[in-house]
């Protein structure tokens, strides 16, 4: 597929996100609709789609700095932004990027924008250094974050917000969880080295690959020896401390990384619950690959009558729906899709879910509230409100994991049900 065709598909992802669509979901649909895309084409499309969202604050700023007046034609504007991303953040040959983009823009508006687009892109190549420096004097362009999100992070993490913002602009690593039923991280690292791959050990059962590869290249992946899971997400199951013979609920389980981890840690009976049947099928696929079993149920977790058999659980992993603000590095469209007040709305929805799940827990049972959010409303404030509503709940451990070069952001609160 030609570069201009990939640019065209990339512009469709800009329209999609602008209209409130999730980038990962839309991109997966787009790939299915274009079966002629090669593996290289898919890689380039993925890079442009996600890379643009990662740096769209600065890219829009630089484009507008070169304009005398705003561009009214959105298709033209998005084509130029895609090309600016390629020129500023990729190793694509500049002449090819410009020529292919201009050629396609020649088909927009009966060719009236061709000369304009050519002039803008060639001007960018001449003034790139100056334009990038100018971004440092405009907060949205400097941090590639909306102002409201910058202020929220500054308020909640005054000592760490710069580190968080810097992490948001990096590519997420490929991190492996080594299945301790087979081997440990050092042993699997030795196998990687023999296959020409290398990684950094994060703990006894976690490895961050130095260079990401497809799972097809991972030794014994299909044998269940390793799983791909963010290092922050790998903290959930050990915090819950599953034990042999226990009955454990994994609420909101898809895609199943934490479900599989629980079953690697102990011979327990796990009930994996999710509202989305299609996503729950991914849980089944992961468990089959790991050669473990769980009871899968498709139902809203808060509607107990639709899935609960009345038997109390020894432990519950409540990985509740949230704004996913801790995963902006992995899902950069989130920072543009979310709005101020969203965390408060999701926190209110979480309350009913948490309260209902609490009733299914045994006395002395363990309850892990988990989110991939950075917002206090969904995390520490939610936890304190829960403790205030339930006098039989005791907080054992609270853990906030901030985004960094090795992980996304996660919040965990481990509670126990007093008798």
Total length of the chain: 419
> What are the structure tokens assigned to 350, written together?
């979480």
How many of the other CB atoms lie within 10 Å of CB of 158? Answer: 9
Please state, in angstroms and rounded to a whole number, the distance separating the CA atoms of residues 48 and 82: 7
Backbone angles phi, psi at 292, to 5 degrees: -130, 170
Three-state DSSP class for residue 398 = strand
How far out from the chain centre does Cα 298 lie? 23
Q: Is 116 left (phi over 0), alpha (psi -120 to 50) or beta?
A: alpha
Half-sphere exposure of 99 (CA within 13 A, CB side): 7
Closest CA to 134 of 192, 206, 59: 59
For residue 53, give both structure tokens: 């969202």
97 Cβ contact partners less than 8 Å away, ≥ 6 residues apart = 3, 83, 86, 87, 121
CA distances from 3 to 34, 102, 385 (A): 14, 11, 53
Beta strands 247-251 and 295-298, pairing class? unpaired
What's the rounded Cα separation, in Å, for the pair 78 and 48? Answer: 12
3-state secondary structure 209-260: ECCCCCHHHCCCCCCCCEEECCCCHHHHHHHHCCCCCCEEEEECCCCCHHHH
Structure tokens at 213: 């590869």
Give the whole-angstrom CA distance, residue 277 versus residue 271: 15
**Is 372 assigned a catalytic role?**
yes
Q: Please give the Cα distance from 9 to 45 (Å, whole number).
A: 7
Q: What single-letter DSSP state applies at residue 33?
A: H
Of 252, 268, 372, 383, the catalytic one is 372
Q: Active-site residues: which are they?
A: 372
């Amino acid at each position: 597929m030609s570069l201009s065709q990939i640019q065209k598909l990339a512009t469709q992802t800009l329209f999609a996100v602008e209209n409130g669509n999730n980038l990962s979901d839309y991109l997966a649909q787009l790939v299915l609709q274009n079966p002629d895309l090669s593996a290289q084409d898919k890689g380039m499309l993925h890079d442009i789609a996600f890379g643009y969202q990662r740096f769209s604050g600065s890219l829009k700023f630089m484009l507008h700095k070169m304009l005398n007046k705003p561009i009214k034609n959105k298709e033209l504007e998005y084509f130029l932004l895609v090309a600016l991303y390629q020129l500023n953040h990729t190793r694509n040959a500049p002449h090819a990027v410009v020529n292919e983009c201009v050629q396609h823009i020649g088909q927009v508006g009966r060719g009236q924008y061709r000369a304009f687009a050519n002039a803008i892109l060639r001007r960018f190549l001449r003034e790139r250094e100056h334009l990038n420096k100018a971004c440092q004097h405009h907060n949205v362009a400097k941090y590639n974050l909306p102002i409201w999100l910058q202020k929220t992070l500054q308020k909640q993490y005054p000592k760490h917000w710069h580190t968080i913002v810097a992490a948001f602009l990096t590519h997420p690593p490929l991190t492996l969880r080594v299945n301790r039923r087979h081997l440990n991280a050092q042993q699997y690292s030795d196998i990687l080295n023999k296959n020409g791959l290398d990684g950094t050990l994060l703990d006894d059962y976690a490895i961050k690959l130095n260079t990401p590869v497809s799972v097809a290249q991972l030794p014994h992946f299909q044998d269940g020896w390793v799983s791909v899971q963010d290092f922050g997400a790998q903290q959930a199951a050990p915090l819950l401390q599953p034990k042999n013979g226990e009955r454990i609920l994994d609420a909101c389980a898809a895609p199943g990384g934490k479900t599989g981890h629980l079953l690697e840690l102990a011979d327990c009976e796990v009930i994996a619950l999710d509202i989305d049947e299609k996503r729950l099928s991914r849980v089944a696929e992961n468990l089959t690959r790991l050669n473990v079993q769980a009871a899968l149920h498709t139902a809203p977790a808060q509607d107990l009558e639709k899935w609960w058999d009345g038997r109390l659980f020894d432990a519950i992993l409540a990985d509740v729906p949230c704004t996913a603000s801790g995963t902006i590095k992995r899902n950069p469209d989130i920072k543009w899709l979310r709005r101020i007040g969203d965390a408060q709305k999701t926190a209110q929805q979480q309350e009913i879910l948490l309260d209902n799940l609490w009733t299914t827990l045994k006395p002395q049972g363990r309850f892990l509230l988990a989110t991939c959010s950075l917002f206090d409303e969904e995390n520490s404030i939610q936890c304190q409100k829960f403790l205030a509503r339930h006098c039989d709940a005791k907080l054992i451990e609270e853990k906030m994991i901030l985004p960094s070069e090795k992980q996304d952001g996660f919040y965990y609160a481990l509670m126990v049900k007093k008798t």
